[in-house]
Amino acid sequence: MGKMPMAVGLYFSLLVFGCLQRLLTQFKYPTALAIIKRLMLITIHTQAPHYTELRGNQMAAGATYVPIATNTLGSSTASVTFSSIPATYTDLVLVCSAKNTVAQNYEIWIRFNSDSGGNYSQTFLQNYANSTQAGRNSSITEIRPGKTNTTSFDTTIINIQNYSNSTTYKTALNRYGNAEFVTGASVGLWRSTSAITSVQVICESSANFTSGSTFTLYGIAAA
């Protein structure tokens, strides 16, 4: 079994949320600030128990990230698909480190079970080029959890909650950023009760992910 070294996912999440909280406090966006504070609490309560390296390796045995599959691109490609995902975990975590071939601030898109209908929605908050932006997308054909650019690899972390549940809609908690352009967080919803068995990661519009982009899917093992 593999572990995510030094709980990098949780630390990255709190760093992103902390930066956004400071920006929103400075520019006085009380509603968006409340959303970020709520996302921070959700992240701490849902993710901290899964990291065995927190607090001197004192977390419960078995609570860990299990690598399911990794794809490091040898050439430019428009999408990456993880299929035949086993239903033996509680949640999924998808970690992307990617660049694109066209322009700055191009989005990463994800679809579940090859569903390209208008069954997705999301609420987002980001700071791009020193401009704070917040909004909601309804009845869209994909969740848009992150960004890519052409000069450096952007990190996007997607937490897919209760993916194998067959009675509820599926929620994805997302955070993304790089040191040059953008940092942000969002919550996405797939309005389907189907268990997720495949995840497709797509580069926006006519762009491709560049060679060297890496996509890793983890399962959160039950404690």
The token pair at 16 is 């992103």
Domains, in order of start, for the chain? 66-220 (2.60.120)
- Dist CA 47 CA 41 (whole Å): 10
Q: How confident is the model at residue 128 (pLDDT cuts 50, 70, 90)?
A: confident
Distance of CA 211 to the CA centre of its chain: 20
3-state helix, strand, coil in the chain (%, to 5): 20, 40, 40
Best CA proximity match to 6, nearest among 61, 51, 41: 51
Q: How confident is the model at residue 23 (pLDDT cuts 50, 70, 90)?
A: low
| Number of neighbouring beta carbons within 10 Å of residue 200 | 18
Task: List, for residues 157-216, the tens digit of each pLDDT value.
Answer: 999 999 999 999 999 999 998 777 788 999 999 999 999 999 999 999 889 999 999 999
**The predicted structure's pLDDT at residue 49:** 47
At 9, the amino acid letter reads G
C-beta separation of 198 from 83 below 8 A? yes
**The predicted structure's pLDDT at residue 25:** 52
**The predicted structure's pLDDT at residue 205:** 85
**The predicted structure's pLDDT at residue 195:** 98
